[in-house]
Amino acid sequence: LAMALAGEAFRRAGDFDRAAAAFARASTLAPGFFAPVRLQAELLEDTGDRSAAIGVVRTYMERNPGDGAAGLVLAALHSAGGGLKAAYRTFAAIDPSVIFANEAASLLYAQAAVATGPAETARMLAAAGEAAPADLVLGRIYASAGDDRAAAATFRQAIIADPLDSGLPALYLAAMTRLGRADEARSLLAEIVRRYPGAANAAAAFGVDAEIGGSAGI
């Protein structure tokens, strides 16, 4: 830990060579400790050597194949470099509960799966359906995968369960608009405003008020 902290101090001071040496030494002293490897990878990426960053994380994972946090970092590095198929393969080897507990990682996984192919997308969505901890995350995953029907249904369920969540109306309305069903979405939001006045501010941002539409069948 002390060596990793020293490396971070060197990094903040702009002494990248000594920082890299400290992180490498910390990794050698504690081969099962991911923090210095992550810091070394961040340093390498910041200095323009993403391939080396990928290399140090991959080497760590060869010694620690079950480290989900390291897997997420490796997948993100692949994705940032345009290697979406490599990112997908990395995500597919990680425990889904680790991926879907992290919304940013979940969306990267969805993008990587779509870029890899339909079968991979289907596997990702099946895993998301079982492991995503909240409808908001699951809906965004469906939307990222291009499944607007499932996204809209999931956002609808989330809005009904939590009508005061100000982030949901935009996501639901966007998915329904892509499906050509914006009026139906506005009708649901109007009904929610009628029943839950506290939702009025969120819905009003999208041109919805209690005078629009009829019953949405909540």
DSSP track, 137-174: HHHHHHHHTT-HHHHHHHHHHHHHH-TT-TTHHHHHHH
Amino acid letter, 151 = A
| pLDDT score recorded for residue 202 | 53
| pLDDT score recorded for residue 14 | 81
H helices then E strands: how many in the chain? 14, 0
Distance CA 207, CA 27 (A): 55
Cα angle 6, 12, 16; round to 5: 75
Nearest to 191 by CA among 168, 211, 170, 161: 211
Distance CA 91, CA 121 (A): 12
Taking only the tens place, the pLDDT of each residue in 18-68 is 888 888 888 788 888 898 899 999 999 988 999 999 999 999 999 999 999
| pLDDT score recorded for residue 191 | 86
User: Residues 101, 133: contact at Cβ < 8 Å?
Assistant: yes
**In the chain, which stretches have pLDDT less than 70?**
1, 198-218
Amino acid letter, 55 = G
Half-sphere exposure of 81 (CA within 13 A, CB side): 18
pTM: 0.80
